[in-house]
Amino acid sequence: MKIDKKKAQTILIALVAITCFFLVRHLLVSDEDRIKGVIYQGKAAIEREDFEGALKHVSRDYRDEYGLNKMAIAAILKRLYAEFDNIAIEVEEMEVTITEKETETKHGRAAFDTWVTFRTEEGIGYLVGSFEEPGQVVFTLAKEGGRWRVVKVEGVVPPEGTYL
């Protein structure tokens, strides 16, 4: 079987171009932009009620001030999806900072104002924030396997009965 030289060169050039594109894209995206991407991808997944899509951004090492872990977050999400319709999340004024110490894992912090609303048969309610003002939320993220994942959330009080 004889391979046409021109076709082989075309395929090789295409593979090199695709590889260069992904390499350059990876090098040009900052950690701050990646963290913003995690926040907005998680927001979109929650609004779509995409359980797996939302949970993939949560670290297996997640632990917050209420003692919640990733499994508890999963249970809360399932409960929210069962009880509420049309969950909507508004994010404003996000500030992202990166901390890196030689002896520790690289961490990121995303602080922002947010409203989380839902719809029930009785009307619209607020999970985070209120009609008058947003809630101030802080996500702490750690880089795990080259991806940023949420390890702690501050400013969100979990629903009653979910404290560990």
Q: What pLDDT digit, counting tens, does each position of 20-74 carry?
A: 676 666 566 788 999 999 999 999 999 999 989 999 999 999 999 888 999 999 9
Cβ count near 147 (within 10 Å)? 13
**Residue 162, pLDDT score:** 43
The CA–CA distances, whole Å, from 125 to 43, 45, 139, 149 equal 18, 20, 23, 28
Amino acid type, 22: F
Could you count the other beta carbons within 10 Å of the beta carbon of residue 97? Answer: 12
Q: How many other C-beta atoms lie within 10 A of the C-beta of residue 38?
A: 20
What pLDDT was estimated at residue 52?
92
- Mean pLDDT value across the chain: 84
Type of residue found at 29? V
Q: Which structural domains are found in the chain, ordered by start?
A: 31-154 (3.10.450.50)
The confidence score (pLDDT) of residue 155 equals: 87
- pTM score of the predicted model: 0.75
Name residue 11's amino acid.
I
Token pair listed for 146: 């080259």
- pLDDT number for residue 10: 81
What's the pLDDT band for 102 if we cut at 50, 70, 90? low
Q: Does residue 66 contact residue 34 with C-beta atoms inside 8 Å?
A: no
Q: Calculate the CA 100 to chain-centre distance.
A: 20
Q: What is the DSSP letter of 50?
A: -
